[in-house]
Amino acid sequence: MIAAFNAVNRVDDYAFTPEQSISHGITTFVAQNRGAKKTGRILKGFACGLLLEACYWGFIFTVITLVREPVMRLFVTEGNEAIVALGSNYLALMAFFYLFPAFTNGIQGFFRGMGNMSITLLGTFTQTSIRVIFVYLLTPRMGMQGAAWACAVGWSMMLLLEVPYYVWFMRRRSGEAEKR
């Protein structure tokens, strides 16, 4: 299981890098337009960034779903069919779950660009803490599948924290704008 997990972590790293790069683009775009006081552009750019995250997820989901076994073979020595099978099953589940970090990365990019680092810190802390707890609870019963589900639960909790905060944040900002 450790060998399979090490291999799938390499695949995860490749899958997450473009999501994080899109998030960095959102951060830069939002920060520049915040400085220029172009709120309308911020919202359009953020929406476009989330759309890019979703499109990338569709791409990586399709690729991983279709070629997860050959991809696992890139990171596993020949003759280790059990490792390939275990990793392929994990990736089948994670390919679907990659949608969650696509959106969490995008939302965090927005808040970093707005200069609101406290929610990004709280979101990351929440996600990591929940994931560790659920890895501890699920992996003894489910093996590597439990680790995948733990990731999904952590990312879901992060979204449950950040999405309502985003709504509140935007309402508060629009209320302040109306007072001016």
Per-residue confidence (pLDDT) for residue 1, from 0 to 100 = 84
Residues with Cβ within 8 Å of 60's Cβ and at least 6 positions away in sequence, in order, are: 15, 18, 95, 98
What is the reported pLDDT for 2? 87
Residue spans per domain, the chain: 2-179
Per-residue pLDDT at 173:
84
pTM of the model: 0.90
**Mean pLDDT (whole number) for 91-108:** 96
Burial of 16: CB neighbours in 10 Å, binned 0-12, 13-18, 19+: middle
51-75 pLDDT, tens digit each: 999 999 999 999 999 999 999 999 8
H/E element holding 84?
A: helix 81-97
Q: What is the largest CA-CA distance in the chain?
A: 69
C-alpha closest to that of 6 among 69, 83, 63: 83
Q: Name the residue among 73, 93, 99 with its Cα closest to residue 144.
A: 93
Contact (Cβ atoms closer than 8 angstroms) between residue 114 and residue 30: yes
Which residue carries 């990736």 as its tokens? 91
Supply the pLDDT for residue 79. Answer: 81
Mean of pLDDT values over 4-8: 89
Q: How many CB atoms lie within 10 A of CB 54?
A: 14
* pLDDT value, residue 178: 65
Query: 146-180, pLDDT tens digit by residue?
Result: 999 999 999 999 999 999 999 999 999 887 766 66
